[in-house]
Structure 1
Amino acid sequence: MGLMERMFGLLFGNGSNVVKDTVEVFRENAEAGSARSHAVQMQAMKEYGQEFVVPRQGWFDQFMDGVNRLPRPALALGTLGLFVSAMVEPLWFAERMQGIALVPEPLWWLLGVIVSFYFGARHQVKAQQFQREIVGTMAHVPQVMQNVAALRKLRSDSVGAASTGKDVRLAAAALSPEANSALEEWRRAA
């Protein structure tokens, strides 16, 4: 036993693992690397979150927050307003469009760049959210198809909807005429 103990002691060390320590020279310890990566990510998230902790105290901050929320609704409502004005007051609308025709092309390019940058980031975020929702929806397709098939079997105009199946009592009840009190009364009156 002493020889084996000395051999394992030489190989694995006394109190430490020589093989593990040697391997870690050439390959990173996955557990330690994961812990370091987690620590870096948590620190980054903490610092990112600190950006939004700053309280908006002054009137200027509140005013700028309000101004930042204006462009999308203003563009949407302005466009709808143009459609309404074209129908209600065509001459007024035509005069305004003649004025827009005089805007130089470089100014249109500048407007396009500003609008693209303003709405581009939002569009990208919404497109990614939409793709995630599509993947989630597609996961439900088999269950939805089964539900639709079951519902279609319940339609009154589908073949075999009134079938009694193997239920003998139900088949007999379906074949025997029911008493119709209104019909009986009519027969007695006639």
Structure 2
Amino acid sequence: MIEKLFTVLFGDGRNMITETAGVFIENTEAGAQRDAALKHAVMAQFAAEFGAAQRGLFDRVIDALNRLPRPALALGTLGLFISAMVNPIWFAARMQGIALVPEPLWWLMGAIVSFYFGARHQAKGQEFQRSIAQTVARAPVVTQNLRALEALQAGAVLHEPSANNPALDDWRGGA
């Protein structure tokens, strides 16, 4: 009769109490596994979005060309200052030509330059996000290493000889 009661309560090799409680309370281990799977999926999505795929020659050439406009603008402006000092007549003639450029063309030039630098800012922002994703991916390893180092340090502190150990002081004095 007791055996039948235990079979009703706990089932055949199953734990009915645990299964019943599982309906009302989340299983912590299963929740941790779901969280780990979610984090893994998020990191995989980051890796796919900001992937570290091999970049071909074309991509490298385009990146190199994208780096030219800012230095060219800066060096060109310095060149204008130098040309104004070296040959003011030649510089004044060029500036008279620029004075003839219609205002809508200046607006168009401003829009093009703004879009270029805006796109550059966007690309740099995505590169920054990629580096953050890589850093976040390394965080668990760093945390584990820190815990290991703390454990080693705690072990070293536990094994340090006490300053108030007469036997140790006697041994040191005799040696």
TM-score (norm: length of structure 1): 0.46
Looking at secondary structure, tell me which structure has more helix per residue. Answer: 2
- Which of the pair has more CA radius of gyration? 1
Bigger relative CO (Cα 8 Å, ≥ 6 apart): 2
TM-score (norm: length of structure 2): 0.49
